Amino acid sequence: ILFRFLRYVFGKHSVTYVRNFTDIDDKINKLSLESGRSIKSITDETIKWYKEDMRELNVLEPSKSPRATEFVAAMIKQIEILISKNHAYVDKFGHVIFSVQSFPEYGLLSHRKLDEMQSGSRVAVSENKKDPLDFILWKPSDNLTPGWDSPWGRGRPGWHIECSAMIHELLGCNFDIHGGGIDLVFPHHENEIAQSCCAYPDSGFANIWMHN
């Protein structure tokens, strides 16, 4: 509805709507191992179902529909920037972890104070975090798990950095509207803001947040 409205007001070619697909995460990896199917086979099928449902609902196709696996190089680049600026660190297990304490504005979106928060994340928890709220940017992969070469060894990205990297590549450092479900405000969107603003401190990231 928002995409249609903005196209109506500003013109069809004045609005860029990006809706990404997370086609790599631990749940997909687990299903692949259990079923013997390739990750691409699983994600292609799920994306096909989703697009069919959207067409039945008469939802417009977005301007761009990136897959996370297409932007791993951009994720690695953003993680390297965060490490170089002391916003992230590497633990003894090979995880790269974002330091929440390095971003004083953390919690503004969800209206939470740092000392009142509880840790929570969709990705594996490292045993060597400096702070319980710190979150994973990169984690090592074993021989059975998909992975990419990186400065920290063969591994895969955490969920939060996937979105920040795709946003930066496709929309730039600053853009108008970030949407999503209300369940994503914390920790996902809070983490997106932290890592994006720390990597590109003059960016501002999203001007407006809209949650359903």
Q: What is the pLDDT of residues 23-74, one digit of tens each?
A: 988 899 899 989 999 999 999 999 999 999 999 999 999 999 999 999 999 9
Q: How many CA atoms lie within 13 A of 41 on its CB side?
A: 7
Specify the pLDDT at position 65. Answer: 96
**How would you classify residue 36: left for phi > 0, otherwise alpha for psi between -120 and 50, otherwise beta?**
left
Contact 108, 192 (CB under 8 A): no
Specify the pLDDT at position 144. Answer: 86
pLDDT digits (tens, 9 = 90+) for 153-165: 999 999 999 999 9
Torsion 80-188-98-102 (CA) sign:
positive
Contact 190, 69 (CB under 8 A): no
Specify the pLDDT at position 128. Answer: 79
Specify the pLDDT at position 203. Answer: 82
pLDDT digits (tens, 9 = 90+) for 77-124: 999 999 999 999 999 999 999 999 999 999 999 998 877 774 444 444
Using CA atoms, how far apart are residues 175 and 184, in angstroms rounded to an integer? 19
